[in-house]
Amino acid sequence: MNRKLFILSLTILLAQTLVAQQNDSIQRKKTKVHIENYDLMTYSKSMGDMQRLIGNVKIRHDSAYFFCDSAYFFEKTNSFDAYQNVHIIVNDSVEIFSDLLNYDGNARFAEFFDNVMLRDDSTTLYTEYLTYDRNLHLAAYPDSATTVRGDKTLTSHIGYYRDDLKEFSFFENVEVLSPKYQMFTDTLFYNTRIEKMWFEGPTTIINKENILEGTHGYYLVDEDFVFLDQRPFMHNETQQMRSDSIQYDRNIGLAKAFGQVDMIDSAYKVVMRGNYMEMWESRGFSFATDSAYAVSYDSGDSLYIHGDTLFMHFDKQKEEVEKLLARRNVRFYKSDMQGKCDTLTYLMADSTIRMRVNPILWAEGSQLSGTDIDIRLKDRSIDWVLQKGNAFIISEDTIEGFNQIKGTDIISRFSNGSIHHVSVEGGTAETLYWIRDDDGALIGIDVSKSATMTIEMDDNSISVIKGYKDISETMYPESDLKENERKLQGFQWHDAARPKDKDDIFRRVEAEMPAMQPTQAETTAEKEAKQEHPKRHRERKNSE
């Protein structure tokens, strides 16, 4: 709603309430203003039966008491003007002070001028002009006031106070200052009985940890708790969070965000998104769920990471991201690499990605798998990959079959997004490679084994293989190598699970257990015998 229209609507509402209550008061019997004390009195009939009261003046109207140094009392109109050291005791908690007062006893309406102070319990309001309607329990100022409550100072251009409800309404250039925070807004409602503030219009809340911006919400003063909705914004020097709504509990340093949440770290250029997010300032981490994903971005290619839950750990002193952690059903996409696993850790400082639990990495035409995979990035591209345990590198041959590298551990070094050097370690190294001439004609299928091995690759194809210790190598014509012998034991091809683009990271991929491949010693006949009658096969093996 337009701010001026909102204030006009509120003013009309207050006016309607005033008229209604004044009409009710007309039906009631008007009460007389009583003079209870003075040091000196003079009387002037020519001035409308005016009585001038001087010194220690005390006037009572119903339950309210008025004190001042001097006053002019008009008996016919049941009104008076009070001067100097004006003091009204409205009720048990409310008192008003000023230099000058005009009071209409019939309307029960007062106007205060110069050095005005309204005090209600531990709340004090200061202004130069104030009206007070006793029927409505309503104090109002049209031109600037300062309100102090505890360690808080509130200022605004226009304001109202309902002393029966203990509620302030502040409009235009509203500021709240305290040792804990600063608040700037257009419209603020503050109920001191329940210590709750509501704000409307552009609002900024500043504390030493961060800045919150929104257009609608509330603040629980005693609990130091803020709620904002309508796409609020929370930020510090390097991090910012925007969502449909935010809850912020400053006591425990926890911000909860709901609906289309974006958290951005500008230092490491990371965006984390989801439909629910928590940011724990005191613990130094945030997490996101519900369609959560993160983007590591720059001016060129970006890395998109999805998981059921994402965690962003940051340095509380530097306010910078230290690492990104993705858990359960993790998939990521970048133009030069894609992957899936169950747990992923991205260490920002040294540009290292750690993949755990059934990890698979695709880079250009190669599929890399193992028990664990570590990736080091350089200039945001793959520098090297370490596969630890049951390591496999598989790529499709240009015409048929698969080129394969297998070992306990494999270290692959990359250049321009492709593997150019491979070291196979751990005591067992194996390769199976389809060798072709320059025209693509098959020369043979090379199968080699050794304790360790180094492999040079060119354009995603093996160019040089060097084996070390316990070396064996055989070149098979295609017709001599049976179908079941063309895949190394433990072979798995998961191309269907490979993310195709940044949106495909959300596709659910069921966990795939590695299928044990038959050894070369197990013949096709033996496999068929197992399938036909497993018990008979076991009996035959036992007899042998």
Predicted confidence at residue 525, as pLDDT, reads: 37
DSSP annotation string for 316-358:
TTTTEEEEEEEEEEEEEEETTEEEEEEEEEEETTTTEEEEESS
Angle at the Cα of 230 (from 225 to 233), degrees rounded to 5?
Answer: 65
If you search the block for the tokens 């509402």, which residue do you land on? 13
CA dihedral (177, 182, 183, 184) in degrees, to 10, reads 90
Whether 360-491 and 31-143 are alike in CATH topology: the answer is yes
Six-digit token string for 93 = 């908690």
Calculate the CA 139 to chain-centre distance: 40
Half-sphere exposure of 205 toward its Cβ, with a 13 Å CA cutoff?
29
CA dist 199 and 217 (Å) reads: 6
Fold of 360-491: lipopolysaccharide transport protein A fold (2.60.450)
Domain ranges of the chain: 31-143, 149-230, 250-259+271-358, 360-491
Q: What is the pLDDT along the chain (544 residues), one digit of tens a residue?
A: 444 444 444 444 454 454 445 555 444 568 999 999 999 999 877 666 799 999 999 999 999 999 999 999 999 999 999 999 999 999 988 999 999 999 999 999 999 999 999 999 899 999 999 999 999 999 999 999 999 999 999 999 999 999 999 999 999 999 999 998 999 999 999 999 999 999 999 999 998 888 999 999 999 999 999 999 999 999 888 788 999 999 999 989 899 999 999 988 887 788 999 999 998 887 888 899 999 999 988 766 899 999 999 998 887 666 567 889 999 999 999 999 999 999 999 998 888 999 999 999 999 889 999 999 999 998 888 999 999 999 999 998 888 889 999 999 999 999 888 899 999 998 899 999 888 887 778 888 999 999 999 999 887 678 888 999 989 988 999 888 888 889 999 999 999 999 999 999 999 876 444 443 443 333 333 344 334 333 333 333 343 3
Amino acid at residue number 406: K
**pLDDT score recorded for residue 223:** 93
Give pLDDT, residue 316. Answer: 65
> CA 26 to CA 22: how far, in whole Å?
6
> Could you give the CA distance from residue 66 to residue 277 in angstroms, rounded to a whole number?
57
For the 31-143 domain, the top CATH level (class) is: mainly beta
Rounded to 5 degrees, φ, ψ at 25 are -70, -25
Helix then strand then coil, % of the chain, to nearest 5: 10, 60, 30
> Quick one: fold of 250-259+271-358?
lipopolysaccharide transport protein A fold (2.60.450)
**Nearest one of 385, 386, 520 to 449, comparing CA atoms:** 520
> What pLDDT score was predicted for residue 6?
41
How far separated are the first and last CA of the chain, in Å rounded?
90
Q: What is the dihedral of CA 272, 274, 280, 285, to 10 degrees?
A: -40
How many CB atoms are closer than 10 A to CB 503?
12
Phi, psi of 491 (to 5 degrees): -60, 135
What separation in angstroms does the CA of 311 have from each of 342, 352, 375, 382?
Answer: 14, 16, 19, 23
Tens-place pLDDT, residues 67-120: 999 999 999 999 999 999 999 999 988 999 999 999 999 999 999 999 999 999
pLDDT at residue 318 in the model: 63
